[in-house]
């Protein structure tokens, strides 16, 4: 009987903890700068090139902005590095024999309805850095460049072990 009561209490605790964790959702602030890469099409080659551009932007642009706390400073850093971003994308394309035009735009760009971390964001014009490749008709990748909400994920250590205390307690009981 005591074990049944303990299990019941533990299930309630797990539910409350899950609900609390679920309630903590990242909301994109109004003063955010988004990042978007739109491939030419959904062909495997175009998607592979989108991924290469995305990987570059995630690592290099994150490095540029990781210590930035002011949106005006972030804007200046992005503007000061647009030519470098353009050159690096040209280099990525050349190294992969990918002959495709692209455009890098920083400013207010159109975004369709998006969902990020379980929250739906309306379509509209948002301050953003957008890389459009070719006809830009493929499925896009996007994240929040400043503050670096999704770029932080590129810095995460995959060797970190997460443990859930309730699960450990249940494992000890059973």
Ramachandran area for residue 31 (φ above 0: left; ψ -120 to 50: alpha; else beta): alpha
pLDDT at 121: 83
Q: Does the pLDDT value for residue 167 go beyond 80?
A: no
Task: Give 60's DSSP letter.
Answer: I
pLDDT at 30: 77
Radius of gyration of the chain (CA): 21
pLDDT at 6: 59
CA distance 173 to 73: 54
CA distance 105 to 91: 18
Residue-wise pLDDT for 94-131, tens only, equals: 999 999 999 999 999 999 887 766 778 889 999 999 99
pLDDT at 2: 64
Using CB atoms within 10 Å of the CB of residue 47, give its burial: 0 to 12 exposed, 13 to 18 middle, 19+ buried.
middle
Peptide bond into 100 cis (omega under 30): no
Cβ within 8 Å of residue 138, ≥6 positions away? 38, 39, 40, 41, 42, 43, 46, 47, 50
Percent of the chain with pLDDT over 90: 50
């Amino acid at each position: 009987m005591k074990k049944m009561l303990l299990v019941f209490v533990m299930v309630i605790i797990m539910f409350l903890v899950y609900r609390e964790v679920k309630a903590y959702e990242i909301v994109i602030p109004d003063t955010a700068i988004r990042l978007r890469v739109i491939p030419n099409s959904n062909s495997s080659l175009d998607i592979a090139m989108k991924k290469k551009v995305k990987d570059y932007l995630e690592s290099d642009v994150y490095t540029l902005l990781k210590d930035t706390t002011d949106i005006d400073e972030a804007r200046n850093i992005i503007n000061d590095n647009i030519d470098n971003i353009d050159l690096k994308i040209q280099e990525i394309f050349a190294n992969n024999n990918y002959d495709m035009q692209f455009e890098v735009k920083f400013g207010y760009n159109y975004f369709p309805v998006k969902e990020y971390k379980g929250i739906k964001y309306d379509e509209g014009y948002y301050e953003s850095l957008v890389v459009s490749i070719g006809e830009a008709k493929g499925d896009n990748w996007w994240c929040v460049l400043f503050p670096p909400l999704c770029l932080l994920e590129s810095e995460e250590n995959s060797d970190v072990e997460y443990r859930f205390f309730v699960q450990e307690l249940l494992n000890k009981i059973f």
